[in-house]
Structure 1
């Protein structure tokens, strides 16, 4: 086993400041091409970046729920069942899988999704998010995006807005800014409460099936309009 140490490289580095792993003798640097993940799914690269002050420490799930309630532009899918907060990018293939798995539960009244749209995966993501948010019914616009999702190229089906107003661009940016404080700029990111005071945040899921989601969200609490949790 070789012990590596995370170091910041710069300012002479072409990118100004970058991260690399240093070998034990201090003579070699290993550039980071992908996160170093341990056998227990510990992201050692993320931990090293945080310790060096190169990446923000994630805020607690309860804080994220509070920020969504007070700062984000959201819309609700469903009329019954516990409310789960979810960050979605219109061009995200895993968001598409999550949406398709969750909607049967939403239609049945077993679950509600409060959607916070973000835009960072592709150049068209932010403008597609803006198009959905500006629609008369964002829920229907998102449904169109997912129904026409092109899996082969990982592209949502809605057309990006041509001339987004700075105000809506700012809204999508603010939503994405909240996501950036969760510890990973990744979608879908899901926030829910098992019971009052017990909030959970997940970047992605282990399984994208309605059966898995039914078990995951069985008996959970509901995030209310102010970011609290009701039983």
Structure 2
């Protein structure tokens, strides 16, 4: 991920910055900093990190920089250089992945959920979300993967290849443990690639278990919820609970 006008070729980074890069950080861009410091925005293990090169170019400070009032001078450049572009890129990649819609297409809030057909917590979240989905407030987009059991990928393939995938997923989740979903005996190559791409995307987003829920907060920053959320967290993800008629 690059930002025009803010990044340089890696070999031009000063040596202290190259040393941080060698430890696995990805340098995204530069920003102004006070007192002769030069700021660098980096991405490390999925998190934005600020680097401050000293005026002599020989040392680098890593972390947040506070002013005399205790205000954090780091978050604004990290938000602009790292989190906003990263959120847009990952959101776009999820939009282009292979998913099953659950809810109205014109719902004002979209959530992407990495789901495994054998995941009981995916079923739990599906049930938790019903008031918002049925009220037309939220659309869940289930990015199907197969990681829990040997037949998980084959069951995901069966759902994706169903005549009506949304209806098939709804029937499967509504039945819970009583589901009669049969795994596809053999997954076609094209569908196998889609499932592999979904799994790779899940890894790129730093998720390792299902359900992995992704949504945009009020600042359009990508947020993640791992596992079925607690009841007191639901509204922060889904919005205010719909009033039952």
Q: TM-score range by the shorter chain?
A: 0.5 to 0.7
What do residues 74-111 of structure 1 show as CA deviations (whole Å, max 9, x unaligned)?
Answer: 23211123111111111111111000111221011121
Gaps of 5+ in 2: 1-22, 26-43, 48-82, 241-245
Distance, in Å, in 2 between the alignment partners of 1:158 and 1:176 is 21
Distance, in Å, in 1 between the alignment partners of 2:219 and 2:233 is 23
Distance, in Å, in 2 between the alignment partners of 1:138 and 1:164 is 16
Aligned residue among 198, 210, 218 for 1:195 = 218
Distance, in Å, in 2 between the alignment partners of 1:142 and 1:206 is 20
* TM-score, structure 2 as length reference: 0.58
Pair 1:88–1:81, CA change in 2 (3 A): same
Distance, in Å, in 2 between the alignment partners of 1:157 and 1:93 is 15
* TM-score, structure 1 as length reference: 0.62
2:198 maps to what in 1?
A: 175
Number of aligned residues: 160
Q: Which has the larger radius of gyration?
A: 2
Pair 1:122–1:135, CA change in 2 (3 A): same
Q: Highest relative contact order (Cα 8 Å, sep 6+), 1 or 2?
A: 1
**2:215–2:237 Cα contact (<8 Å) kept:** no
Pair 1:57–1:168, CA change in 2 (3 A): same
1:179 Cα deviation from its structure 2 partner: 0.6
Task: Extract structure 1 runs of 4+ deviating beyond 4 A.
Answer: none
Note the aligned Cα RMSD (angstroms): 2.6
1:196 Cα deviation from its structure 2 partner: 4.6
1:68 Cα deviation from its structure 2 partner: 1.0
1:69 Cα deviation from its structure 2 partner: 1.7
Give the SS at the match of 1:162. coil
1:206 Cα deviation from its structure 2 partner: 4.0
Q: In the alignment, is residue 116 of structure 1 matched against residue 139 of structure 2?
A: no
1:218 maps to what in 2?
A: 239
What do residues 155-205 of structure 1 show as CA deviations (whole Å, max 9, x unaligned)?
Answer: x64110112211111111111111112223211111111125322112224
**2:159–2:169 Cα contact (<8 Å) kept:** yes
> Which structure is higher in helix share?
2
